[in-house]
Structure 1
Amino acid sequence: MPKHGTFVWNELMTHDVKKAKAFYADTVGWSFEAMDMGEGTYHVAKTGDDMAAGFFEMSGPDFENVPDHWMPYLEVDGIDGLVKKAEGKGATIIRQPFDVPGVGRIAIIKEPTGAVVGWMTSENR
């Protein structure tokens, strides 16, 4: 069970999923499982049967000037209230809390120092 304040997921945000998958398959031996997300395909990196990370393809005008990067996700209790608290403490909310069926409730914030991080309240808590 995920604990409040611990990192629980990492996601590669990339403009070239095919190239990234080839790199990680060849270097660390990951295999990939595609998941249809309705708005696109999410690629789950796996080590054997264990999930290791996710790959998200950045496409469209919203991602035009965004460099490829890794996005970590931090498990938090009561995401909606905590996002409001974070905003009051100087964070910028990049994406308000939203639900991902089978995963949990997620928000993307930029904390006061400028670092971007995902917060998640997992569904399986």
Structure 2
Amino acid sequence: MTSPHGDHIWYELLTPDADAAQAFYGPMLGWSFRDAGMPGVDYRIFASPEADIGGLMPAGEGMPAAWLGYVGVDDVDAMAKSVTDGGGAVHMPPADIPGVGRFALVADPAGAVFYVMAPTLPEDAPDAQSLSFSYDRPRVGHCAWNELMTPDPDAALAFYGQRFGWVKDGEMEMGPLGIYTFLRHGAKGMMGAVMPMMPDTPLPAWSHYFRVADIDAAYAHVTAQGGRVVEEPTEIPGGAFSMKGIDPQGVAFALVGARRQEG
């Protein structure tokens, strides 16, 4: 895909139970699922009516169940070296997925894990761009925000900025919780934020907020299906509401969406 270096281009759920996760997320986010056709691997692509968003697969032995993001890069091998040179780590070295692209699983110096990937351009759509993260407008089912919780936000800003071109674009005071720093990816626009670790957060990590049509309907779905809400719907700048939860399989997730008014 021709998405610029530094774009979030894909999202992936590693889960203890792929069937149950599909049943949980599909109705809430309007996703359809299909088999990716990877021999010997249960990898399912989930999509909105407009575009493919990401993939879902069972977590293998020793793999943590989690939501992970893929950052598009021009050169995966060079980026893997840059990550380690900058104090980060490579958990899965660069490898090729035939017909898909080259990727690696890495971590920043604080330990937050993410993928880097150089996709293989489709022959029938060489100019295609990923819509997994929606920069231009709100899209239900697509990622709307990427948020890093880390013990040293300034160090994280330097690390990611040097490698992906992300820059600080304002901040918001959160009182005793510290400063919430907004991230912009050049001309593409706002893509997320960096914030200090919260006291009850076990490890530095990225949260990827997927957009729902109705945050209250999503709340009801989460609780009815055996999930748990850990951060109640909270109004954010722009009038939408964010929410965090734990899915029925024990994986943390995040949502953002409007609150539909009755009457």
Asked if 1:27 is matched to 2:24, the reply is: no
1:85 pairs with one of 66, 82, 88: 82
Moved over 6 A (4+): none
User: Any idea what the Cα deviations from partners look like across 1:72-114, whole Å, max 9, x if unmatched?
Assistant: 0001111111211211111111000000112110000011011
The normalised TM-score by structure 2 is: 0.44
**% identity of equivalent residues:** 31
Aligned to 1:117: 114
Aligned to 2:102: 105
Asked if the contact 1:2/1:122 (under 8 Å) is kept, the reply is no
Q: What is the root-mean-square deviation of aligned Cα atoms in Å?
A: 1.5
Work out which of the two has the higher radius of gyration on C-alpha atoms and give 1 or 2.
2
Greater fraction of residues in strand: 1
Asked if 1:43 is matched to 2:44, the reply is: yes
The normalised TM-score by structure 1 is: 0.89
Tell me, in whole angstroms, the C-alpha distance in 2 between the residues paired with 1:115 and 1:84: 17
Post-superposition offset of 1:21 = 0.3
Tell me, in whole angstroms, the C-alpha distance in 2 between the residues paired with 1:122 and 1:17: 24
User: Any idea what the Cα deviations from partners look like across 1:2-31, whole Å, max 9, x if unmatched?
Assistant: 110111000011111111100112212211
User: Any idea what the Cα deviations from partners look like across 1:29-54, whole Å, max 9, x if unmatched?
Assistant: 21100123223211000112521221
Aligned residues, how many?
121
Code of the residue aligned with 1:108 in structure 2: it is: L
Tell me, in whole angstroms, the C-alpha distance in 2 between the residues paired with 1:90 and 1:44: 33
Tell me, in whole angstroms, the C-alpha distance in 1 between the residues paired with 2:39 and 2:31: 24
Q: Which ranges in structure 2 are unaligned for 5 or more consecutive residues?
A: 127-263
Asked if 1:7 is matched to 2:4, the reply is: no
Higher relative contact order structure (alpha carbons within 8 Å, sequence separation ≥ 6): 1
